[in-house]
Amino acid sequence: MPIDPLVKGALDLDPWLEPYEGALVHRQKHAASLLASLKDSNQTLAEFASSYKKYGIHADWKTHEISVAEYIPDVTSVSLIGEFNGWDRNATPLVKSDGFGLWTTTIPAINNGKDFTIPHDSKIKLAITLPSGEVVYRLSPWATRATQPEPEVDGSVKSHVYDSRFWNPQPEDTYKFKNSRPVLPETDGIKIYEAHVGISTPEPTIGTYKNFTKKILPLIHQLGYNTIQLMAVMEHAYYASFGYQITNFFAISSRYGTPEDLKELVDEAHGLGIRVLLDVVHSHASKNVEDGLNMFNGTDHYLFHGGAKGNHDLWDSRLFNYSNYETLRFLLSNLKFYTDVYQFDGFRFDGVTSMLYKHHGLSFGFSGNYNEYFSDDYVDNDAIAYLILAHTLMDELATKEPSGFKFISIAEDVSGMPTLCLPTTDGGVGFNYRLSMAIPDMWIKIIKHLQDEDWDMGAIVHTLTNRRHGEKCIAYCESHDQALVGDKTIAFWLMDKEMYTHMSVLTELTPVVDRGLSLHKLIRLITFSLGGEGYLNFEGNEFGHPEWLDFPRVGNGESYNYARRQFNLIEDPLLRYKFLFDFDSAMQHLDTKYGILDSHQAYVSLKHQGDKVIVFERNGLLFIFNFHATKSYADYKLGVQIPGIYQVVLNSDRACFGGHDRIEEINPKTGKPLEFWTKDEPWNDRDNSLLVYIPTRTALVLQLKDKIIE
C-alpha cells in the first residue's frame, strides 16, 4: 500500500517507522481536527492565538476605555476590584456574555474622556463568587504584570501572595523596538548561551534586565554565541524554583525589572545579531491558588485535568488538559504573546518528556523500543497534538517576518521519541532540535568514577554520535542542571580541591589545575564538534565558574551568596579563568568561520583506546584529540580524506588558553605557519595521511591552507 502523504517524509527517513504509520497518521489527523475546532471560516490559527489581545484587561488610548474579558466557567458572579475602586466588590461587576464562561465589561473613561479609570501600575484583582456562595480572590490568568507584596514599615511582609497590576505606561514611556530579528547565515550553527537574568551579577543580590543588557550581552557577543536562552522569565512566586513553578504565564518576572526593560534587552541582543529564546514551561504549572491558576474557579479542572490525572507528584505541580479548547487558547496565545510583545525568536520547551507520555517519564526506562513511543497506553496524543499546533503556529508567524527568518524550538526530551524533531509537513511534531541529555550525564560519570587511564574512547564517541538521523540535536557538556547545588560543574569535579588556592598565575601550576584546565577544554571542544548540530553552554561554565548555583531558601538561610555568577573573575588578568573564557570564544568563532555545527555528522577515523587518541573530520576540518594523561606523540600518523597542505586553526595548548605552547605554530626559521603535508598513503580508511605532533591532553584542529579564513 502507498504511504500516507501526511507522514511520507518521516517514513522515507526512517523505514523502521512503517509499522507505526497508523499512529503517526492519527497524530497528524488529531492535530488537524483540533485546528479545525479552533478556527471558524474567517479565522487563522494566528488569529486564534491572538486571544491575549482580547482576554484579560486592556486599555484603549483613543477612548481611554478599559475592556475586561475573563474565562471563568461554573461561577455565580465576577467583579474587578482594586485600588481604583477601593476594593469594592459591587463597584465594577462583569457580565456573563456567553454560555461557556466568558465574563466581560467595559470601564468608561473619567475626566471627560481624558483619563483611564484604573491608574497605571495600580493593584487589581478578580473577586469571584462560587456556587457555594464563597467569594475567592484571584489574579487574572492573562495579567501582564505581577509583583511581590511590598514590605511593611518595619520590614515585615504580611503576605507572600503576589499582586496583579495594571501595566499601562504612557505611549512615550513604552519601549519601541529599533532592531529587526536577526537572520543568520545558513552556515552559522546555533550556539546557545543559557542564562538566568537574576544570577547574572557577581553581587549576592538579584540581577536586573538592565544589568544583563549592559554587562552580559557584550560578553555573550564577545564569546561568539548567536543565541541566548533566557530562563526563569515567566513569573514565578518562588525564586528557588528556578522559574519552573510558573504562577503568571503572561507576566515576566518583576524581580528583574519592568516589561519595558525586558523589551530593551531583547532589542539590544538583536542589534548585536543575537537571537533570544524563551525557556517556556507549558508542561505544568504551580499549585499556588491565590496568585496562580490552581483552583482558579474553585474547581481543580480549570485548564487542568481534574483529580489525580491533573497532578505531577514528583514536581508537586498541576498538569494541563491539552484537549480543552480554552487550554489551547491560553497556551497558544502565550507563545504568540511573547513573540509579539517581547519579540522572542523562539522557545526552549521545558519538560517535553512529561508532556509526551501519560506516565510523564516517571519510573520508566526508555529502551528504544518503538512501541514505547506509539502505544496509546503510554503516549498522550492530546499533548502531541498541542505541540504540533504550536509549531504550526510558529511556521505561520514566520511568514510575516523578514525573508529567511524562522522561529526556533528546542525540546527537553530524554526519551528520544522518533519524529519529535521533524517538520509537521513530514509527519513530525515540529521541533527544530532536541537536547542531547545523555552527553552531560556521560561526562559527569566519567569524571566522577573513572581514572584517566580508564576513559573509554569508543564509548565517548558512541555517546557523542548516537542520535537519530535527520533529527537535529543540541550538544552540551553541562547545563543549569549540572550547576545546581547537589551536583558539581565539570570544572568543580576536575579542580575543586584547588580552585580557591591555585587559580592565580602567580602561584604554581599544580598537576590538579593543569589537568583540569586541559580536560575542560578538550571535553568542550569534542562535545562541540562531534556531539550535535548545535551547542549550548550555561553562563559562567565557559570559564569554569568555581561555585555551584543555589538560590535563597530556608535550607541556606535565604542566602544569595551562591545565586550569582562571578563574571569579575575573567576581568582579573592574574587569574586563570580568562584562559578558559578565551578558549570558549575561539571555539565559538571557529564555527562562525567554518560552519561546523550545521553540517553533516563527522566521520570518525580513529578512536584508539591504548593511545587515548580520537580523530575525525567534519566539514573539511580535521579534529585531533589526545586524552592520554602522560604520553605525547611525535609524528603520529593520521588518516585524512582530502589531500593538501594543512595548518593549525585551533590549538588547546596555546599559552593564551592556559597551555604550555609545546607546538611551534610558527616556524622560527622562516616565520611562516607550521604546515602538515599529506601523503598519498591510505590510513584508517581514509585516502591520505599525514604526521602530527600531539602533546598529552591536547586538541588540534587543522584546515587546508587555501581554505583558512582570517
What Cα–Cα distance (Å) separates residue 581 from each residue in 198, 535, 586?
21, 16, 9
Return all residues near 37 (Cβ < 8 A) that are at least 6 apart: 325
Domains along the sequence of the chain with CATH: 51-155+165-173 (2.60.40.10), 603-707 (2.60.40.1180)
What are the cell numbers at 21? Answer: 504509520
Sign of CA dihedral 280, 281, 282, 286: negative
Return all residues near 237 (Cβ < 8 A) that are at least 6 apart: 160, 161, 162, 245, 247, 286, 288, 291, 292
> pLDDT exceeding 90 applies to what percent of the chain?
90
Distance CA 684, CA 71 (A): 66
Q: Considering 70, 291, 412, 617, which one is annotated as catalytic?
A: 412
Q: Phi and psi at residue 333, in whole multiples of 5°? A: -65, -35
Distance CA 416, CA 662 (A): 42
Q: Phi and psi at residue 705, in whole multiples of 5°? A: -55, -45
* Residue 350 known to be catalytic: yes
Please state whether beta strands 613-618 and 317-318 pair in parallel, antiparallel, or not at all (unpaired).
unpaired
- Show the low-confidence residues of the chain (pLDDT under 70): 41-42, 152-158
Of 216, 213, 223, give the one whose Cα is nearest residue 202: 216
What Cα–Cα distance (Å) separates residue 449 from each residue in 510, 526, 603?
22, 20, 29
What are the cell numbers at 362? Answer: 516517571
What are the cell numbers at 195? Answer: 542564562
Give per-residue burial for 296-311: e unless 16+ CB within 10 Å, then b. Answer: bbbeebbbbbeeeebb
- Residue 163's pLDDT is what? 96
Q: Is 305 helix (H, G, I), strand (E, B) or coil?
A: coil
Helical spans, DSSP H, in 17-162: 21-38, 45-48
Distance CA 535, CA 605 (A): 23
Return all residues near 707 (Cβ < 8 A) that are at least 6 apart: 620
- Residue 512's pLDDT is what? 97
Distance CA 4, CA 593 (A): 41
Q: Is 335 helix (H, G, I), strand (E, B) or coil?
A: helix
Amino acid present at 134: E
The DSSP annotation for 229-253 comes to EEES-EE-S-GGGTT-S-SEEEEEP
Distance CA 548, CA 99 (A): 53
Quote the pTM value. 0.96
* Residue 65 known to be catalytic: no
- Widest distance between CA atoms in the chain: 93
Q: Is 51 helix (H, G, I), strand (E, B) or coil?
A: helix
- Residue 42's pLDDT is what? 66
- Residue 474's pLDDT is what? 97
Element spanning 657, H or E: none
Of 55, 49, 91, give the one whose Cα is nearest residue 72: 55
What are the cell numbers at 652? Answer: 588547546
Residues 319/333, Cβ–Cβ less than 8 Å: no
Return all residues near 653 (Cβ < 8 A) that are at least 6 apart: 659, 660, 661, 662, 663, 695, 698
Q: Is 656 helix (H, G, I), strand (E, B) or coil?
A: helix
Of 57, 27, 6, give the one whose Cα is nearest residue 375: 27
Q: Where are the beta strands (DSSP E) in 262-307?
A: 275-280
Q: Considering 14, 291, 350, 372, which one is annotated as catalytic?
A: 350
What single DSSP character describes residue 475? E
Amino acid present at 116: F
408 forms beta bridges with 346
- Residue 99's pLDDT is what? 81
What single DSSP character describes residue 106? E
- Residue 152's pLDDT is what? 66
- Residue 155's pLDDT is what? 62
Distance CA 66, CA 55 (A): 12
Distance CA 295, CA 292 (A): 8
What single DSSP character describes residue 64? T
What are the cell numbers at 518? Answer: 586541559
Of 567, 698, 539, give the one whose Cα is nearest residue 629: 698
Q: Is 263 helix (H, G, I), strand (E, B) or coil?
A: helix
Residues 606/686, Cβ–Cβ less than 8 Å: no
Q: Is 590 helix (H, G, I), strand (E, B) or coil?
A: helix
Helical spans, DSSP H, in 180-315: 209-211, 217-223, 259-271
Q: Phi and psi at residue 201, in whole multiples of 5°? A: -155, 145
Helical spans, DSSP H, in 295-403: 325-340, 352-356, 371-374, 381-398
For the chain, the straight-line distance linking the first and the last C-alpha, in angstroms and rounded, comes to 55
Residue with cell 466581560: 104
Residues 45/34, Cβ–Cβ less than 8 Å: no
280 forms beta bridges with 349
